[in-house]
């Protein structure tokens, strides 16, 4: 406990833990060096003098002194022309949607919603209202999330898709042919979303697995 009454929880033998961490770091560096020097993984040393790392650690080669290594070439010239050429070769960035187009699409969506409400049975109107509110809230919630955080949101969308799959399966063949078709389409799309989410998550996890 400190003089200010703060209790600090943690390791007190940090100096005793340093050798283990240093050994792991040193061993990992040696493993990576051996992978670099034996690209075929057959134990045969292949020295590539074009590689900056291998050239820098070599002192003698075939009886000839190679130390000190030549300085690493670093270009101090500005890369503006190359960047400009690459920018010119890239397709133009997608322009943001104008306010007029947003309002037009919103008006069309509202018109379609009111038409659906007008021709739908009374029991279906509350469900359509909840569906429309869910679309609006979901748009503003997802739209304000940074792109780097979109992938973690797949866990939530997978849960929602799972509910859609269960609901669609329960409605298959129970009422009219139209409801059966809509339920089948909803089940198919939700299943694609679920499997796609798991596939992307698996690829992301594979990035953190040691080869």
pLDDT tens, the chain, 211 aa long:
577 888 878 787 878 888 888 898 899 988 888 888 888 888 888 888 888 888 888 888 888 888 888 887 766 555 555 555 565 666 565 667 777 887 888 888 888 888 888 887 888 778 878 877 877 777 777 667 666 666 666 666 677 777 788 888 887 877 778 888 888 888 888 888 888 777 877 777 777 777 6
Peptide bond into 68 cis (omega under 30): yes
Q: Residue 103 has what pLDDT?
A: 82
Tell me the Cα Rg of the chain.
31
DSSP label at 6?
A: -
Q: Would the CA dihedral through 105, 107, 113, 119 be positive or negative?
A: negative
**Cβ neighbours of residue 125 closer than 8 Å, sequence gap 6 or more:** 117
DSSP state, 128?
Answer: H
Q: What are phi and psi of 122, to 5 degrees?
A: -60, -35
Give the pLDDT of residue 75.
61
Mapped onto helix, strand or coil, the DSSP state of residue 65 is: strand
Contacts of residue 172, Cβ cutoff 8 Å, sequence gap at least 6: 180, 183, 184, 187
Q: What is the pLDDT of residue 1?
A: 59
pLDDT of 171: 79
pLDDT given for residue 146 in this prediction: 65
């Amino acid at each position: 406990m400190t003089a200010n009454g703060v209790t600090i929880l943690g390791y007190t033998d940090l100096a005793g833990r340093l050798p283990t961490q240093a050994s792991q770091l040193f061993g990992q560096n040696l493993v990576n060096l051996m992978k670099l020097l034996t690209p075929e993984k057959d134990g045969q040393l292949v020295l590539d003098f074009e590689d900056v790392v291998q050239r820098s650690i070599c002192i003698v080669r075939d009886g000839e002194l190679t130390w000190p290594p030549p300085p690493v070439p670093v270009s101090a010239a500005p890369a503006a022309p190359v960047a400009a050429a690459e920018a010119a070769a890239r397709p133009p960035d997608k322009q943001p949607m104008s306010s007029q187009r947003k309002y037009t699409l919103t008006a069309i969506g509202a018109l379609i919603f009111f038409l659906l409400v007008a021709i739908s049975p009374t029991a279906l109107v509350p469900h359509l209202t909840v569906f429309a509110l869910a679309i609006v809230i979901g748009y503003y919630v997802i739209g304000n999330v940074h792109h780097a955080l979109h992938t973690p949101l797949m866990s939530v969308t997978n849960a929602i898709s799972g509910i859609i799959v269960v609901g669609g399966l329960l409605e298959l063949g129970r009422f009219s042919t139209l409801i059966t078709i809509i339920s089948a389409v909803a089940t198919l799309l939700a299943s694609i979303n679920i499997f796609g989410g798991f596939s992307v998550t698996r690829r992301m996890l594979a990035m953190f697995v040691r080869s």
